[in-house]
Structure 1
Amino acid sequence: MSEPPGAAVSLAEPAPATDTPQAPPAARRVLPLRRPGRWIATVLVLVLAAQFVNGLLTNPFYQWDRFGYWFLRPTILDGLLVTLEVTLYSAVLGLLGGIVLALARLSGSPVLRAVSWTYVWAFRSVPLIVVLLFLYNFSALYKTLSIGVPFGPAFFSFDESRLATDLVIAVVGFSLHESAYAAEVVRGGILSVDQGQHEAAAALGLPRRYQFRRIVFPQALRSIVPNYVNQLIGLIKGTSLVFYVSLLDLFGSAQSMASTYPGDIVPLLMVATVWYLILTSVVSVVQFSVERHYARGATRTLPPTPLRRLRAALSGATARVRGEAAV
């Protein structure tokens, strides 16, 4: 019997109908990727760290009993207070000067741009110790300073040597030096703000000062804070140079005591080292808090705190160990 034209002929046998459900395929477990190189490097680093800590604690040359004696001595704490004063005043004045220099560099006035560029170029080229020594001998060049009409009569005059104490010299020198670097940090942060933010603020008819203070500068701080904190940490360590202008800071006090007690040189150096580590650690914690504050609105979730990161790392390591042990 012939098929009608256009009918399709199937050569395959039809599957027999059955009411029995098919068994699902066997579940396959995903095996974790083995990384023996990572484990070997981790063990090697832990062994080296353990050797370093063991040598640090058991080597009698460090004289940890003398370290404990000097750590909280009034002489060391007085030097620490000087370090904090110089750092605080110089950081604030340096940042304010850097903001002014950055705005002058970005202004439309060619004179302000030229002066700002020249200032940054000069103080980034001259070593800090040269600036401090120059200011320390500044009274030899100008014995008196006066305030009055330019190229005219003076209203007030005062002795420069009485005004320029050792602390003032250190603060002025560090502020002048830091403001040159802070100017580039602030300028880079302002330039990192998207141009559309400037255009949107201008389209709303906001005053220029309001645009900068409430829109541009808060966004620029996300870029300014990490870079300027690096400068601040360098400033904390750089305060050791004030020893050369007759100001005993933390390092100067430790060095002065080491010259009096030559048998305690290493413990005194360790005291200064630990105090510098504490100061930089505090600054790092403040930096994290400030960055986390200004990250709101820029990221969907705030960055986790160090404690949360530690917990997540321990949980992940434990899970990996269990997974590999089960294999």
Structure 2
Amino acid sequence: MTETQHQTRAEEIKAVPVRHYGRWVAGVVITFVAVLVIRSVITNSNMQWGVVGDYLFDDRVLRGLQNTLILTVISMVIGVVGGILLAVMRMSPNPLASGAAGVYIWLFRGTPLITQLVFWNFLALFYPRLGLGIPFGPEFVAADTNSLISPFTAALLGLGLNEAAYMAEIVRGGILSVDAGQLEAASALGMSRTKTLRRIVLPQAMRVIIPPTGNETIAMLKTTSLVVVIGYFELMTSVQQIYAQNYRIAPLLIVAVLWYLFMTSVLTLIQMQIEKRFARGTSRAAAERTTWASRMLGFRFGKGGGATR
């Protein structure tokens, strides 16, 4: 076969792209349903968007929002610090430390959070006084439990200690993801267990720990609404107090929804930046190049969308 004939036959081959008619049909249906839902939400007079605008930046709502953020941050700090400590104890060769951490995780993950909040709020029913001293001996410091356990304290204890149990498993999973050969190498170099954990294990484990920790933070932001059962003033409590007076239930619930959506969106953006930082120099770095729309809503556009052609 001559070179001219070979070129002629090669030119006759034309690649025909695969037609994905099902995708187009699904896209049209989803767009149509989305337009109907959006139109219904905007034009529905029961939403009372004017009332939503009046109360969106109300002082009581903003004060509740501030308390929600404070509660989220402090509870997550307690949860992360406690989770790291529990994870280290859980993996300790000391059977007492490992057993104590296991019992803690079993207890706090095995009971509902709302029950734990109520328990801490009514701790005085079990221990009217709390103190420090020698067992079966004199007390050095003692105080009335009711004066120590305020709704804010009970909320922190309930949320923070419960979160520590879940963070312990997240941290433990991150530590176990590090290759055991690196631990053996560190031990051969004479590094202590604590130094190995701080210098070698945790920096690498953070790539595995950060994503679920970000999810736990977002979940904590919404879980703070449970403290309404112990009377702590946060976003949902403020909204409930307002609509208990003016009976504008629907628009005030929308106010709470809008603020929760705004805060979770901000936290998601922060989580994305932290994940990108810890993914630098790894094969995951390219995978972390996601946009806000793809992370928040699942929308994927362009070549980076990952769609097959």
Question: Would you say same fold, with TM above 0.5?
Answer: yes
How far did 1:293 drift?
Answer: 0.9
How far did 1:197 drift?
Answer: 2.2
Partner letter of residue 284 of structure 1? T
Deviates more, 1:89-98 or 1:133-142: 133-142
Give matches, 1:45-124, under 5 Å: 45-124=30-109
Paired with 1:231 and 1:308, the residues of 2 have a C-alpha distance of 21
How far did 1:228 drift?
Answer: 2.0
How far did 1:222 drift?
Answer: 1.5
Paired with 1:200 and 1:151, the residues of 2 have a C-alpha distance of 48
Partner of 1:273: 257
The reply on whether 1:163 has 2:148 as its aligned counterpart is yes
Once the two structures are superposed, what CA deviation does each residue of 1:151-196 show, in whole Å capped at 9, x if it has no partner? 3221112222222221111111111111111111111111111212
Once the two structures are superposed, what CA deviation does each residue of 1:248-281 show, in whole Å capped at 9, x if it has no partner? 210111111111111x111100111111111111
Cα 1:30–1:210, aligned 2, differ >3 Å: closer, same or farther? same
Partner letter of residue 77 of structure 2? V
How far did 1:205 drift?
Answer: 2.8
Paired with 1:307 and 1:82, the residues of 2 have a C-alpha distance of 27
Paired with 1:244 and 1:301, the residues of 2 have a C-alpha distance of 43
Are the counterparts in 1 of residues 116 and 158 from structure 2 also a CA contact under 8 Å?
yes
Paired with 1:131 and 1:226, the residues of 2 have a C-alpha distance of 26
For the aligned residue pairs, the C-alpha RMSD in angstroms reads: 2.4
The reply on whether 1:137 has 2:119 as its aligned counterpart is no
Paired with 1:104 and 1:277, the residues of 2 have a C-alpha distance of 37
How far did 1:305 drift?
Answer: 3.9
Cα 1:44–1:92, aligned 2, differ >3 Å: closer, same or farther? same
Paired with 2:292 and 2:256, the residues of 1 have a C-alpha distance of 28
Paired with 2:27 and 2:293, the residues of 1 have a C-alpha distance of 22
Instruction: Return the TM-score normalized by structure 1.
Output: 0.85
How far did 1:93 drift?
Answer: 0.4
Are the counterparts in 1 of residues 121 and 150 from structure 2 also a CA contact under 8 Å?
no
Cα 1:313–1:79, aligned 2, differ >3 Å: closer, same or farther? closer
Deviates more, 1:140-149 or 1:239-248: 140-149
Q: What 5-or-longer segments of structure 2 have no aligned partner?
A: none
Partner of 1:298: 282
Cα 1:128–1:208, aligned 2, differ >3 Å: closer, same or farther? same
Larger radius of gyration: 1
How far did 1:301 drift?
Answer: 4.4
Partner of 1:22: 4
Partner letter of residue 88 of structure 2? L
Cα 1:218–1:21, aligned 2, differ >3 Å: closer, same or farther? closer
Percent identity between the aligned chains? 39
Paired with 2:176 and 2:201, the residues of 1 have a C-alpha distance of 10
Give matches, 1:297-316, under 5 Å: 297-299=281-283, 301-302=285-286, 303-306=288-291, 314-316=301-303
How far did 1:33 drift?
Answer: 1.1
Q: What 5-or-longer segments of structure 1 have no aligned partner?
A: 1-14
Partner letter of residue 215 of structure 1? I
Paired with 2:293 and 2:259, the residues of 1 have a C-alpha distance of 27
Deviates more, 1:221-230 or 1:123-132: 221-230
Q: Tell me how many residue pairs correspond in the alignment.
A: 299
The DSSP-based 3-state class of the residue aligned with 1:158 is: strand
The reply on whether 1:257 has 2:239 as its aligned counterpart is no
Partner letter of residue 232 of structure 1? T
Instruction: Return the TM-score normalized by structure 2.
Output: 0.90
